[in-house]
Amino acid sequence: MNVYTRIQILSSVLALTLAGFLGVVTSGCRGGTGSECVADSDCELGDLCLKRTQVIEGERYEELWGTCHVDDDDDLIPNDGDLSGSSLDRRCGVHVTSDPETGVQTVFEKVIGDCDDNCPDVSNARFSRRFVCMAKDDCCPASESAKEKATKFDRCADITDQTDTCSSCFSGENPTPKICYLGSSDGFDLDSRGCVHCRPLEEKIACATTADCNSAITAGRLPKPACSGKWQCTVNMADGTKSGFCKFFPKLVEMEDDDGYSQLWQLDSDWDGLGDECDNCPQSPNGLECKNPIFQLRCDVNQDGLITPAELMLGEQANRDGDRYGDACDLCPDLSDNDNGDLDHDGIGNPCDNDDDGDGVCDPGIVADDCHGSDNCPEIWNSSQHDMDHDGKGDECDSDADGDGVREDGDGSGVAGDNPCVGGNRRNCDDNCPGVRNSSQADENNNGIGDDCE
């Protein structure tokens, strides 16, 4: 028997042994939670075989072996991710808030990896993706020859030891966050260094094409990005939009844990143990962490430093009217409604407020001691209730206050009086005498002021 034949036999035996072993794994006894697995069929009924993943050159790959877990919402974060026997003792979550005035995002705590799903019945997991400098981009200080050899998937750190401009954004005492956990449809601000800040874009530079954005960079009106990505014009030719604004579109890569695998995270803005997607008060703590002595003060609704039994009850997502808003944040806790707005900011929700706009005049159909009459502009503060044309609509909310058939903002620009009617024209122009009924819009000298009020 020659060496080649022996190798063939040994290879066949090895293949049969491996096949038999996998057959036992895949069709034999099912493993319980925490057991290794190759497929869901290796786990007890109700468990899934969850596997860690990596992204290599734009493609996602998962490990051959995984672990059996209960994952009711199938979002790759197990109900009991730390295998402690409890799905409540270490909830996943990123506690992040946004300043109401500046929009700046602040991250306070993060629990990522080996933790319990904070929305076990709602899929709410996301892969961590951070700002990066890619090898071929301007932010990378590598030589041109090195960049030519690099692939589009190589990062700057893969081809040079030199510090790229993106890395400098995350150094120092107050680093720019590598991840913006709260999104912004308008994009994010870049500072003078070109570093991304997790706050909504403050100044929108108008544009018709992306070339306009490039010109703005050259002129110093827009910063050159320190990380990979580019400014682009938001104009959408398909929907007929003729103008837009410059928005920065960053290039993002997935963050990896210490073992090189992709990281999953879940948002929990109020840090109460329930993810925002399944929390009936995502900005007001009223989840299971209210029961945790360490976090109880977060559920101190009136901020008096004491936790009452009633406040602790909020920790069970108390919701006595059964609508979508929990008692901790419901402005009409005894009235089931889908509008939790508060037009006059008096702490009483619009559906249960006798005077929505707070001008002292009752909403139509309401008779109450804290207001009077019937508001002719129920959503706009107008205590005078003036109604020039006596049509039942107050002047403050009447598009044609003088009732002459020509609207104050007749061209629909959003600014009344910016395009007054002249030359006898009455269409697609603004009333040239908004306080006087003048249906003819006569303006003999064509100065934009109607004859009847000049």
- 293-331 pLDDT tens trace: 767 777 777 778 887 877 777 778 889 999 999 998 999
What is residue 308's predicted lDDT score, i.e. its pLDDT? Answer: 81
What Å distances lie between residue 256 and 38, 56, 140, 168, 314, CA to CA? 23, 12, 21, 20, 37
Specify whether the CB–CB gap between 190 and 196 falls below 8 A.
yes
Question: Distance between CA 349 and CA 313 in Å, rounded?
Answer: 22
Task: Decide if pLDDT at 120 tops 80.
Answer: yes
pLDDT of residue 10: 37
Predicted local distance difference test score (pLDDT) of residue 155: 94
Mean pLDDT of the chain: 88
Domain residue extents for the chain: 3-69, 129-254
Looking at the predicted structure, is the pLDDT value of residue 70 above 90?
A: yes
Q: Closest Cα to residue 260, out of 63, 69, 65, 66?
A: 63
pLDDT of residue 186: 87
Instruction: Give the number of C-alpha atoms closer than 13 A to the C-alpha of residue 121, restricted to the C-beta side.
Output: 2
Q: Flag whether pLDDT at 104 surpasses 50.
A: yes
Nearest to 323 by CA among 344, 309, 338, 308: 338
